[in-house]
Amino acid sequence: MPAIEQEGIEQARKHFSALVEDASRGKTTIITKHGVPCAAIVPVSQVRAQTMESKIGDLRGSGKGLWGRSISDTIHQIREEWD
């Protein structure tokens, strides 16, 4: 994997169209502000790949124990608090 280049925000503004063209060819550029990374211009395929990785099924079991031992008891208790 090639090294990711960094470019200051002012230079990026001046060369924006070239950076977009580079991204369309698969190149990622990190945009910095006062030397601190703050944004990235990335190929769309990279964003789509990351979006496709997160599926609802991946969340299964992530809330285990969140509602206590019995979900129905917890909901009943919450409803009583609002009455």
Q: Does domain 1-53 have CATH number 3.40.1620.10?
A: yes
pLDDT in tens, 51-60: 666 666 666 6
For residue 21, which phi and psi values (nearest 5 degrees)?
A: -60, -45
Structural domain boundaries in the chain: 1-53
pLDDT in tens, 31-40: 999 999 999 9
Query: Look-up: residue for tokens 């990026």?
Result: 12
Highest mean pLDDT among 4-8, 51-55, 60-64, 78-82: 4-8
Q: What is the pLDDT of residue 46?
A: 83
Place 64 in a pLDDT band, splitting at 50, 70 and 90: confident
CA distance 31 to 11: 9
